[in-house]
Structure 1
Amino acid sequence: MSPEGAPTATTEGAPAPDRAKKGQTALGVLGFVLALGFGFLVGKWINRPDVQVEPVTGDRVRVALRGDEPMLGPKDAWVTVIEFADFECPYCAKGAKPLMEAIEDMDDGDVRLIFKHYPLPFHRKAVPAARAAYAAHKLGKFWEVHDWLYERRGDIGDLRGFVASLGLDPEEFTQIMFSDEAMAAIDDDMIAGGRVGVSGTPAYVVNGHVYSGARSRDQWGAILERAKADAERLGVPKAEVYATLMKDAKDRIGDGTPVGGKPSARVPKRAPGEADALARYKVPAGDDRPAIGPEDAQVTVVLFSDFQCPFCRRLVPLLEETARTAGDVRLVFRNFPLPSHPRAEAAAKAAMAAHRQGKFWEMHDRIVAYRGPLSDEALERMAKEIGLDLDRYRTDVASPEIAAQVAEDVALGKRFGVVATPTMFVNGRYVRGAQSRDTLDSVLGHARREAAEILAEKGTGQGRPYDLVVADALDGVPEAQGEGRGE
């Protein structure tokens, strides 16, 4: 018996035992119905009508293989599945398990799975994730990191801890992850996919037939069984099946361009009169222009920038840091004040006046960090704060020589097809717009590899590396024009 006044199971506001049981039953039924509904929706997703069960094309295609890609299964399998995937792609993540289950349903040795990277340009995490997977593969832990990345939609936060938990050296892992070789392999995978018509993820090439999109375990089972039966009908030993199928396969379908271009050098669509990212240009580095880094650097970046451009504010600090620390990168600054930014030209003149007193970068950093109106008074106040001789500053900032330098930079930019800020010419290669740290590292790595090849051919004793690299480059863009924009 309960003490007087103590609540019991039937106290007002609480259900009586039989009512509670009915409520629990109702909730159980509701939960069951919801579970069925969720399962139905998942089934509808994985079996949705737009996912093709048949190949995209009846023609067989030959995917270029390096031979060092991540692989499961024997080389002499009846069926070879080449997967192109993006770790940030939700369909890749959801489609990976049904494929693996279908492969496990087959007899041992029937299927080999080869993984190729295809990071899409609108997935910010995809390239860093692909780099991490490459490093994991080189250290023998690809599939562990593969699963971990899919669970996290490509987010590499806490990567260092996970790598350590696998028994790997985080320092060695990081070195491989950010190596030129990692980016080159990812580029190579993208190009291989583009050549056989891959335009989205996930995409699969099964014994030469291209399939697009995720599918269920049963659908994969049917595809793999059919591919195995076709292979068996060839009447050749298993070890010769794939080579036999590839004899009449096409090396290329479509225009062969990977989506978004190579991850190491993705560029927007060209505007009229704009420089061509596939060409190399002999942009004068300008010995009298502000610069950071050694004159004999293997990579020279000529930057066209605008002091009121918000995108320049994001890129220039990355370039400054790289030029100060890399040891083989030189940054050369040229002004390109846009007509849409009314105080950009005045800021450019102020910075060049500071350059005459050896303090361009101090003035540059003050200007880009300033969020108020860039009035003459504000610019002079910055000049005073960095310790310039103000009388000399006032004379220089109003001088025709400084105005001519800024105008010369603008004319040079237009001659070489600059249509927006920021714009870089990396060893003469055109790169437009603000870039992330990862993309910038990739672009610089590519430039280093190209420079090494050119210098090995020409010899390093013939002049500055930059002059040798751009010696045979274009001297401008025909009919280049345009006022430009920030991006």
Structure 2
Amino acid sequence: AQQQAEPAAAAKKVEVPADSPSFGPATAKVTIVEWSDFECPFCSRAVPTLNKIKETYGKDVRVVFRHQPLPMHSHAKIAAQASMAAHEQGKFWEMHDKLFANQRALERGDLEKYAQELGLDMNKFKAALESSKISTKVDADSSAGTAVGANGTPAFFINGRFLSGAQPFEAFKPLIDQEIAKADKALAAGTKAEDLYAKLNQDNVNAAPAAPAAPAEPEVQKVEVGNAPVRGPKNAPVTIVAWSDFECPFCSRAVPTIEQVEKAYKGKVKFAFKHQPLPFHQNAKLAAVASMAANEQGKFWEMHDKLFANQRALDRASLEKYAQEIGLNVNKFKTDLESGKFDKQIEADMADGSAKGANGTPTFFINGRTLVGAQPFEAFKKVIDEELKKAGVAMAAEAK
């Protein structure tokens, strides 16, 4: 977050393709280019912020939408294509709002239903959804995003100045205000309105400090395993500590990836689990308590697997059923569930996670290096291989 307070540190030359959806005039004083993913929960959180920017700044701001459907989101690419199929009929923003309002329903049938609700020509929409032209456009956006460092979503470039994540309006405001002041100066000095974005974008790139010759060392935090449940050898050269929530769908998506990591790096990785039950998941805290009650009987991981496999059934009765199924002493389990004895550890995990920036779930620390979200195996592999290299351990074989 600190870097975002010093935006001059990162400015990129960012193109605005003529066929990209946008609102606000091309002659606006500020152009915000957003790379986004319709299945990403953080992207949907950014929508009200962008609406507030629209209301506050009117014609002074243009927002351009570009696509970065992340590989971990199985419906993101087709949703991106649906938005562009709607764009061909002049209804991109209406479809954009529908998709973000219905992130859990992005199947082909759902997309056709939204198209119908928006009054689109259905034959045209279906044909466009399958056209290679639209698929190519989405891929081009994605590659362009990767080239400027927009690998996570949402990512914003404000006249080229980078702002990462679902930031509040207050994070955008100072940057927008600074850019409007620069635009007013440029216009007064004779820059034409239609050349404004190209000039301000280039000025910001020129003003940004030159990139350091050597890649910066990644920030490493001191992360203690403490008394968290752990699996893997005690003296493993790589320790992965996860902050997770049993009701979070992204956390459950990370489970098979972690299993793949453990298999690929057998004997070289240990994995610790810490709790970050999010306030909007009503059963997450109780599920965390249940996992620790199972831990008390030596069966944390069995309960961990049950809870993630049954995320929609985490009420009290379901937890007792799982305790029975994994062979716990159910009376002891029930007593422990009510005892409050694990509250302190769970709250300590939460506070420790928040202090380290693990406010969303899942968040992983690999030898203290942060990896946020349900990332693919390759993202873990890159960091683990670097850590093993540091430790002088032979690289693991590719995961089968």
TM (normalized to structure 2)?
0.49
Give the greater-gyration-radius structure (CA): 1
